[in-house]
Amino acid sequence: MLNFSRLKIGFIISSILFFFYIFLGNFNFINKTNLFLDKKVNLGLDLQGGSYLLLEIDMNPLINKKLEEKTVDLKKKFNEKKLDFKNLNILNNKITFEIKNSSQKEIAINLINKTNNDENIFSRINNNNIENANKDFVYKIEKDLFILQFNEEYIKRQKKDAINQSIEIVRKRVDQLGTKEPTIQQKGENRIIVELPGLTDPSSFKNILGKTAQLNFKFIKTSNSSSDNLGFEKVKNKSDGLFIEVEKRLIVSGENLTDAQPGFDRETNQSIVSFKFDNLGAKKFANATKDNVGRPLAIILDNEILSSPVIREPILTGSGQISGGFTVEEANQLAILLRAGALPAPMKIIEERTVGADLGKDSIRSGIISFIAGFLLVFVYMVYAYKLFGIFANISLLLNIVILISVLSIFGSTLTLPGIAGIVLTVGMAIDTNVIIYERAKEELKIEKSNIIAFDIAYRKSLLTIIDSNLTTLIAGIILFYLGSGPVKGFAVTLCVGLITSFFTAFTVSRLMVSKYLMANKDKIINI
């Protein structure tokens, strides 16, 4: 194991040079000339300061909303065709109703199918067999009781759409607030990770990210409410907390907004948000206001009435303003929310980790100090225990760090505080490889006369042991990688990469040095 061909030596040296090249790119003062690659190790949020937020989308309201829409639709169709029904309810994600007259069963089935546009008719469940299983809705009939529900596929698709849409909107909102290099990514099927480096007070982000921002314009119930409405609902009034009955019928919603800006109303001395509808929205709004002059309108944001202005004249321009006793900050936030659009489903912040910039700096400092201390301790011990061979091991250990950092740079990995601890730990573990080899060599030297043969046997016999011991730690590291998030993941990464690079350096660099030394001092008595 001690023979190196020229090709091998060339490979080892050129790969070390390559890693050095990458490694040096990490230092700004060296890389001023752009001579080196701009690949760097990223500092984790715990080192540079910043905020980590985990958001969870609650999908139930989304499905419920779809069911409600369906129920309203059904009711309308049933009334039109004079179908006698009772107990039309939504319960446990199912719509149920009973028909009073069994002979109307066929009519009911027909009407159910008619509530679906296109060919999206309900599939029928018969004795646990689903006909038309590929449809979005399924129904089941037990005597006179009808049970309707969405099929799994449809719900899954809705959820997928919802998360994609939410990520888009979260991104827009974060961009509006302006922060450097935010990361937004999906986690699991209903969660979103938002990482905001450099941000140490996420309260305004939390306010904005947690809002659904569903803006609706509806009429408040009055004596002249139209008869073809879909019923009424009670909505809380923001200013006094009382519940006011409004029509369920939607005039226009935030979907049709093209712009929203915070502003100030000089007449009332209030912060306001002025908005502009798109063509469709403007048309809807114009039609509704034309016929309802004198009626109060409810401007509803996330099930809360912000304001209820009375329509004095038809609004044909498609623009208007919302006044809701806002502070300047609130008006700003609302404008941002309206510009970014509404979330398809409500979202909650379920985890937050924020590190201040000065704690980050402290962590970097203590990380570097413990690295230097750990390295020196091991360094001194190796020289003490193995003399010249200890120095060989130390040189390869130094190179190991260089290679480790450059591998992390190449992958653009994130270095966290536990990650630094992982590097320090791999210093201690990487040297194990050399210890195992040298200890074995010591034993073999007692039996073998030739230094070269003794070391050769030592390298050969240690190889499997070293692979064994590195592999077990590697397995644990990989499991850790999947367990952890953020800082802990950083530790798993440096640990795993460090083990692999240490294996490389021990069997190339330090072996090369040992071999060159032994070849040059064939007859010398080795003191190890």
Q: Collect all residues with Cβ–Cβ distance below 8 Å to 465 and sequence separation of at least 6.
A: 436
Q: Collect all residues with Cβ–Cβ distance below 8 Å to 247 and sequence separation of at least 6.
A: 218, 219, 220, 221, 225, 226, 229, 230, 231, 232
CB of 375 to another protein, least distance (A): 8
Closer Cβ to another protein, 493 or 514, answer by number: 493
Helices H / strands E in the chain, number of each: 13, 21
x/- letters, 473..502, toward another protein (CB under 8 A) = xxxxx-xx-xxx--xx--xx--x-------
Beta bridge partner(s), residue 296: 310
Q: How far is CA 241 from the centre of its chain?
A: 35
Q: Which of 354, 406, 505, 510 binds another protein (CB under 8 A)?
A: 354
Quick check: 166 and 347 in contact, CB under 8 A?
yes
Near another protein in 331-350, by CB under 8 A:
348-350
Binding of residue 417 to another protein (CB under 8 A): yes
Near another protein in 250-279, by CB under 8 A:
none
Q: Which of 37, 167, 463, 528 binds another protein (CB under 8 A)?
A: 463
Closer Cβ to another protein, 150 or 375, answer by number: 375
Near another protein in 194-213, by CB under 8 A:
200-201, 203
The b/e string for 422-461 (b: 16+ C-beta within 10 A; e otherwise) is bbbbbbebbbbbbbbbbebbeebbeebeebeebbbbbbeb
Binding of residue 378 to another protein (CB under 8 A): yes
x/- letters, 69..108, toward another protein (CB under 8 A) = ----------------------------------------
Closer Cβ to another protein, 133 or 476, answer by number: 476
Near another protein in 31-60, by CB under 8 A:
46, 54, 56
Determine the size of the site formed for another protein (CB under 8 A).
71
Closer Cβ to another protein, 54 or 300, answer by number: 54
What is 103-153 written as a DSSP string? GGHHHHHHHHHHTSSTT-PPEEEETTEETTTTSSEEEEEETTEEEEEE-HH
Binding of residue 396 to another protein (CB under 8 A): no
**Residue bearing tokens 């119930």:** 221
CB of 459 to another protein, least distance (A): 11
Q: Collect all residues with Cβ–Cβ distance below 8 Å to 466 and sequence separation of at least 6.
A: 433, 436, 437, 503, 506
Quick check: 95 and 111 in contact, CB under 8 A?
no
CB of 513 to another protein, least distance (A): 19
Beta bridge partner(s), residue 233: 246
Count Cβ atoms within 10 A of the Cβ of residue 298 and give its class: 0-12 exposed, 13-18 middle, 19 or more buried: buried
Q: Which of 95, 170, 335, 421 binds another protein (CB under 8 A)?
A: 421
Query: Among the candidate windows 14-22, 177-185, 272-280, 434-442, which touches another protein by CB under 8 A?
Result: 434-442
Binding of residue 363 to another protein (CB under 8 A): yes
Closer Cβ to another protein, 244 or 420, answer by number: 420
CB of 111 to another protein, least distance (A): 41
Going by C-alpha positions, the residue among 434, 455, 441 that lies closest to residue 378 is 434
CB of 404 to another protein, least distance (A): 14
State how far the Cα of 207 lies from the Cα of 102, in Å rounded to an integer.
Answer: 53
Q: Which of 110, 276, 428, 450 binds another protein (CB under 8 A)?
A: 428
**Residue bearing tokens 């907004």:** 257
